[in-house]
Chains A and B, each alone.
Chain A
Amino acid sequence: MKIFENINYDFLGKRKIFYAVSISLFLLGVINVIFRGLEFGIDFKGGTEIVLQFDKPVEIGKIRTDVENIGLGNVEVKTFGSETGVLVRTELQEIPANIYPVIRKNIDETIENSFPGLQKQVIDTTANSVTYQLTSADTTNRLVDILNNAGFQAGKVSVEPDNKELIVSVGIADWIKENLREKVSDNPFTLLKEEKVGPKVGKELKEDAVIAIIFSLIVILIYLGFRFKFIFAFGAVVALFHDTLITLGLYSLLYGVIPGLNLEIDLTIVAAFLTLIGYSINDTVIVFDRVRENMKIHKTTPLIDVINQSISKTMSRTILTGGTTLLTILVLMIFGGEVLRAFAFTLFFGIIIGTYSSIFVASALVLEYANRSKKKVQF
Chain B
Amino acid sequence: MKEFRFKIIIILGAIALCVYLLYPTYTDYQNSKKISQVLDKRREEIKTADPEITTDALNRRIRAVDDSIKAADPSIQNARQKRIKLGLDLQGGMRVVLEVNTGKLLQKLAKDPDQTFNDAISSAQKEAALSDESVVDILARKFEEKGIRLSRYFGSVRDDDNKIISDLKTDAEDAVSRAMEIIRNRVDQYGVAEPSIQRQGSRRIIIELPGVAHEEEAKQLLQGTALLEFRLVKDPEFTISVMQSIDKVLAGKVTEDSSNTDSSIASSEVNKDTSAAQDTTKQLSEEEFKKQHPFFSIALINPQSKQADAYVKEDDRNRLITLLNRPDVQKVIPNNVEFVFSAKPVAHQDGKGIYLMYLVNKTPELTGGVITDASANIDPTTSSPIVNMTMNAEGATQWARITGANVGKRIAIMLDGVVFSAPNVKGKIPGGRSQIEGEENMEEAKLLEIVLKAGALPAPVDIIEERTVGPSLGQDSVNSGLNSVIIGYILVGFFMIIYYQKAGGIAAATLVFTILFILGVLAGFSATLTLPGIAGIILTIGMAVDANVLIYERIREELATGKTMKASVDSGFAKAFSAIFDSNITTFFTGIILYQFGTGPIQGFALTLMIGIVSSLFSALVIARLIFDYMVSKGAKLSIG
Which A residues form the contact surface with B (CB < 8 A)?
Answer: 1-2, 51, 53, 141-142, 144-145, 148, 153-161, 167-169, 190-201, 203, 208-209, 211-212, 215-216, 219-220, 223-224, 227, 267-268, 270-271, 274-275, 277-279, 281-283, 285-286, 289-290, 293, 313-314, 316-317, 320-321, 323-329, 331-332, 335-337, 339-340, 343-344, 347
Contact = CB atoms under 8 A, between A and B. Distances in A.
What is the predominant secondary structure among interface residues of chain A facing chain B? helix
What is the predominant secondary structure among interface residues of chain B facing chain A? helix
**Pairs of residues from A and B, 3 with the lowest C-beta to C-beta distance, nearest first:** A278-B590, A328-B542, A282-B583
A281 to B, nearest CB: 5
Given A157-B220, A332-B488, A339 B593 contact: no
A300 to B, nearest CB: 21
B641 A268 contact: no
Nearest to A331: B488
Contacts of A275: 539, 587, 590, 594, 605, 609
A280 B325 CA distance: 63
Interface stretch (B41-49, B53-61, B67-75): B53-61
B32 to A, nearest CB: 21
Contacts of A200: 129-130, 464
20 contacts: A196-B466, A197-B464, A216-B590, A219-B590, A220-B586, A220-B590, A271-B606, A278-B588, A282-B583, A282-B586, A286-B579, A289-B579, A324-B542, A324-B549, A325-B543, A325-B546, A327-B542, A339-B477, A339-B531, A344-B535
B434 interface: no
A121 B192 CA distance: 31
Contacts of A211: 597
Interface residues of B, number: 86
A140 B526 CA distance: 41
Contact of A281 (B473, B495, B586): B586
A336 B605 CA distance: 14
B219 A169 contact: yes
B535 A343 contact: yes
B609 A167 contact: no
B269 to A, nearest CB: 29
Nearest to B603: A271
A196 B465 contact: yes
A201 B589 contact: no
B492 interface: yes
Contact of B483 (A2, A335, A340): A335
Contacts of B590: 216, 219-220, 274-275, 277-278
Given A285-B583, A323-B495, 19 more contacts: A2-B641, A141-B56, A144-B56, A167-B220, A168-B216, A195-B467, A201-B465, A220-B590, A223-B585, A274-B594, A282-B546, A289-B582, A321-B550, A324-B496, A327-B495, A331-B488, A336-B480, A336-B538, A339-B531
B598 A194 contact: no
B477 A337 contact: yes
Contacts of A321: 543, 545-546, 549-550
Contacts of B588: 278
A281 B583 contact: yes
Contacts of A326: 542
Contact of A332 (B417, B464, B476, B484): B484
A347 B463 contact: no
Contacts of B542: 324-329
A326 B605 CA distance: 18
Contacts of A208: 597
B469 interface: yes
B175 to A, nearest CB: 18
Determine which residue in B553, B590, B594, B606 has the highest number of CB atoms from chain A within 10 A of its CB, and name it: B590
B438 interface: no
Contacts of B416: 158
